[in-house]
Amino acid sequence: MFEWLHIAVPPAPLFFAQLLVGLINGAFYAMLSLGLAVIFGLLNIINFTHGAQYMLGAFCAWFLLNWAGIGYWPSLVIAPIIVGITGIGIERLLLRRIARLDHLYGLLLTFGLALIIEGIFRQQYGSSGLPYTIPPELQGARNLGFMFLPNYRAWVVVASLGVCLATWFVIERTRLGAYLRAATENPILVRAFGIDVPRMVTLTYGGGVALAALAGVMAAPIYQVSPLMGSNIIIVVFAVVVIGGMGSIFGAILSGFGLGLIEGLTKVFYPEASSTVIFVIMALVLLVKPAGLFGRTA
Amino acid sequence: MSRLAKLAIAAAVLGMAAGAQAQTTPDTIRVGVLADMSSLYADLGGPGSVEAAKMAVEDFGGSVLGKKVEVVSADHQNKPDVGSSIARQWFDQQNVQMITDLTTSSVALAVQEVAREKNKIIMITGAASSDLTGKNCAPTAIHYEYDTTALANGTGAEVVKAGGKTWFFITADYAFGHALQNDTASVVEANGGKVLGSVNVPLNSADFSSYLLQAQASKAQIIGLANAGGDTINSIKQAAEFGIVEGGQKLAALLLFLSDVHSLGLKTAQGLNLTESFYWDQDDQTRAWSKKFFDRTKKEPTMTQAGVYSATMHWLEAVKAANSIDGPTVIKQLKSKPINDFDIRNGHIQDDGSLVHDMFLYEVKKPSESKGEWDLYKLVATIPGAQAFKRPHGNECPAVKG
């Protein structure tokens, strides 16, 4: 039916399989854009280092495995903590000094940091990447009838959904989240109530960074642990956050999964466009709704 | 603007000024290494190629025809426009007389046009597309190390003859991928096989799961990976995840470098067939040179890096013998003699610019067979040059066409 467009419509089982694969990619986009949205929404910092911190999470998992013999499951907890602490260091030493200035300075600073971190790792480890095996409990695949679903990828979808929902719950439904949101709107007033705002800001930045590192640990077994992995994904994640709305947690999660699906479909029908479709959508959304789909206009 | 910002901008401007290139003197001849220094192909050429070129210049003596020889390098970032503007600036302003490495076929093709315009020599050891010596051939360009024809006649023919008759290609969507797919498809069909389909993938993709699913659905016996570097590594890793091989299909990695296999690890890569022109552990000659390379870089050399040394050395020797740096004159000198060293065996440069030489079919060792970190290949067969570089459909280069 669509031959004149050179588009081949695949059979139904392959179609559902591609949707599932798109969902899995969407899980990574959602986790990463969640961290970015948390940092921007609550702290007004455009954190370009996010991709490098995702890469640091994966490398941390690799170091833990190869230098300390610590496997995947403990790394899921330890690596985000370690990278989160470095994030806290960055916030304390660098970001705090430019907090009063225009957003662009934060963007430039974090972008420069990302280049430095990536450059150091690339100098040391090359660009081809290092191997990290899937943990034995998650190896193998399940025959779903329409495709073989690798167990590890199923775990990624479930875990990232869990993490995203937990983060959303903490920010939107708990008292701590309420303090955070209040501190973003009016830090002076919140401080007057005796709440330590600078400490909350630091911990929130560390938390966002830890989310990126967690995504990195989960990505390590499927993509090579490579210094380039952050820069490859960060631009797409920024587009996802912009589409979802820069301040909206829920928007980031929804558009992460949604755009993963759309990218997956593009790979089926017109793969040559799969690296650009998300930006096309971003351009269209910005034309119609400049604050993003779920964003609140300032 | 705040004072701090003004200071910062002043510092940045001064910093940029300090980075300006040294003035060229006519007494220095330069060799340019134009490679991917920072992205998915950086490990197969990149900074290692720069070291190889420096080794060649040092071993030659550091000067030729009374002039000092210097190595300059730059990162083309896999972008043809960046590559060609660097090449143009090198040729015009920096007295660069020869450019080598040139990984990434689209960049090599663009730089070849600049070289054609200026009649300067390029010796390509990184890029693969057979169009470089086919319809785009240039009189001062030498395709030195390997090309897609040799890969197709090596890995492609071997796999078809071993029983892999039906193929599905996962192709990097640019000049190299298309050239490799076309050349391999020709060889497959010439040997009685059939191409069931293909999918074009943007360069430098991280996730191949969607394309592997399409390959699985095609039920082809062989999934041909017409990509390289980081793309090939990701394809092979993810194919293992999706149970491609357990499902009965086989992977044919049409272009695989030592750096890729080292990165994948023997557990994942074992049993893969690949065609290369150089392996560090093949014989005493290769081992002797590779040891010098390893001492400087702490990595064993890939065929592209070995090729940069070999090409630079032979170019310097040709300049000395021809007593000139003029492009066409040195090319004539290079074509007049066979090339035989640790990297190139039984080589002779043809009229279309391709250096026809022996290629080697290797198999990746099993983990149990390997005795060291870089002990990765075993030699399966030697493919003589005439067979390796034979084009089933003839050559469109005007220099060799009837």
The pLDDT of residue B19: 44
Categorise residue B81: left if φ over 0, alpha if ψ from -120 to 50, beta otherwise.
alpha
Strand-pair partners of B315: none
Report yes or no: B214 at the A interface, CB cutoff 8 Å: yes
Cβ-contact A216, A75 below 8 angstroms:
no
Domains B24-146+283-356 and B155-276+360-387 agree in fold: yes
Q: Which of B231, B237, B270 has the most A C-beta neighbours within 10 Å, making it the best mutation to test the interface with A?
A: B237
Strand extents, DSSP E, B300-373: 348-349, 355-356, 359-364
The set of residues, in sequence order, having a beta carbon less than 8 Å from that of B213 and lying 6+ positions away, is: A14, A17, A18, A21, A147, B242
Mean pLDDT of chain B: 90
Report the first-to-last Cα separation within chain A, whole angstroms. Answer: 47
Task: Tell which wins on pLDDT, B390 or B10.
Answer: B390
Cβ contact B213–A264 (<8 Å): no
Task: Tell which wins on pLDDT, B228 or A101.
Answer: B228
pTM assigned to the model: 0.82
CA distance A51 to A37: 14
Does the pLDDT at position B366 exceed 80?
yes
Instruction: Give the chain A residue nearest B241 (alpha carbons).
Output: A150
The minimal CB distance from B213 to the residues A17, A141, A229 is found for A17
Structure tokens belonging to residue B10: 């002043």
User: What does A25-78 look like in DSSP terms, one character per residue?
Assistant: HHHHHHHHHHHHHHHHHHH----TTHHHHHHHHHHHHHHHHHHH---HHHHHHH
Structure tokens belonging to residue A94: 């660098």
The 8-class DSSP code of residue B358 comes to -
The pLDDT of residue B15: 52
Cβ contact B39–A21 (<8 Å): no
The pLDDT of residue A123: 84
Strand-pair partners of A1: none
CA distance B42 to B48: 9
Report yes or no: B192 at the A interface, CB cutoff 8 Å: no
Instruction: Give the chain A residue nearest B214 (alpha carbons).
Output: A14
The pLDDT of residue B103: 93
- Report the length, in residues, of chain B: 402
Structure tokens belonging to residue A265: 């479909």
Using only the alpha carbons of chain B, give its radius of gyration. 21
The pLDDT of residue B295: 95
CA distance B310 to B59: 11
Cβ-contact B52, B103 below 8 angstroms:
no
ipTM: 0.78
Which residue positions in chain A have pLDDT lower than 70? 1-10, 296-298
Tell me the chain A residues in contact with residue B198 when contact means C-beta distances shorter than 8 Å.
none
Sign, CA dihedral A221-A224-A225-A228, equals: negative
The pLDDT of residue A3: 46
Cβ contact A228–B39 (<8 Å): yes
CA distance B88 to B188: 39
Read off the pLDDT of each residue in B56-61 and give the average, rounded to a whole number. 95
The pLDDT of residue A44: 78
Q: Is A150 helix (H, G, I), strand (E, B) or coil?
A: strand
Cβ-contact B29, B53 below 8 angstroms:
no
Amino acid, res. B96: V
Tell me the chain A residues in contact with residue B264 when contact means C-beta distances shorter than 8 Å.
131
Find tokens 């074509």 and name the residue. B335
Return residues 252-271 of B near A (CB < 8 Å): 259-260, 262-265, 267-268
Q: How confident is the model at residue B23 (pLDDT cuts 50, 70, 90)?
A: low
The minimal CB distance from A148 to the residues B199, B233, B243 is found for B243
* Tens digits of residue pLDDT in B193-205: 999 999 999 988 8
Structure tokens belonging to residue B336: 């007049």
Which residue ranges make up each domain of chain A? 34-227, 230-298
CA distance B70 to B92: 16
Cβ contact B38–A122 (<8 Å): yes
Tell me the chain A residues in contact with residue B39 when contact means C-beta distances shorter than 8 Å.
127, 228
Tell me the chain B residues in contact with residue A267 when contact means C-beta distances shorter than 8 Å.
210-211
For the domain made up of B155-276+360-387, the CATH class stated in words is alpha beta
> Domain B24-146+283-356 belongs to what topology?
Rossmann fold (3.40.50)
Backbone angles phi, psi at B73, to 5 degrees: -145, 160
CA distance A221 to A156: 11
Which residue ranges make up each domain of chain B? 24-146+283-356, 155-276+360-387
Structure tokens belonging to residue B248: 């009965």
Q: Which of B236, B241, B374, B376 has the most A C-beta neighbours within 10 Å, making it the best mutation to test the interface with A?
A: B241
Half-sphere exposure of A87 (CA within 13 A, CB side): 33
Closest by CA to B87, choosing from B47, B121, B48, is: B121
Nearest chain B Cα distance for residue A150, angstroms: 6
The minimal CB distance from A128 to the residues B38, B204, B230 is found for B230
Report yes or no: A3 at the B interface, CB cutoff 8 Å: no
Does the pLDDT at position B3 exceed 90?
no
CA distance A49 to A64: 22
Does the pLDDT at position B126 exceed 90?
yes
Instruction: Give the chain A residue nearest B264 (alpha carbons).
Output: A131
Cβ contact A129–B233 (<8 Å): yes
The 8-class DSSP code of residue B353 comes to S
Tell me the chain B residues in contact with residue A228 when contact means C-beta distances shorter than 8 Å.
39-40, 230
Tell me the chain A residues in contact with residue B50 when contact means C-beta distances shorter than 8 Å.
none
Cβ contact B213–A21 (<8 Å): yes
Report yes or no: A228 at the B interface, CB cutoff 8 Å: yes
Half-sphere exposure of B290 (CA within 13 A, CB side): 21
Does the pLDDT at position B22 exceed 70?
no
CA B355 to chain centre: 13
Cβ contact A126–B229 (<8 Å): no
Structure tokens belonging to residue B319: 């300049």
Question: What element of type H or E holds B68?
Answer: strand B67-75
CA distance B130 to B148: 5
Amino acid, res. B278: F
Which has the minimum average pLDDT: A81-95, A98-112, B85-99, B124-138? A98-112
* Tens digits of residue pLDDT in A188-197: 888 888 888 8
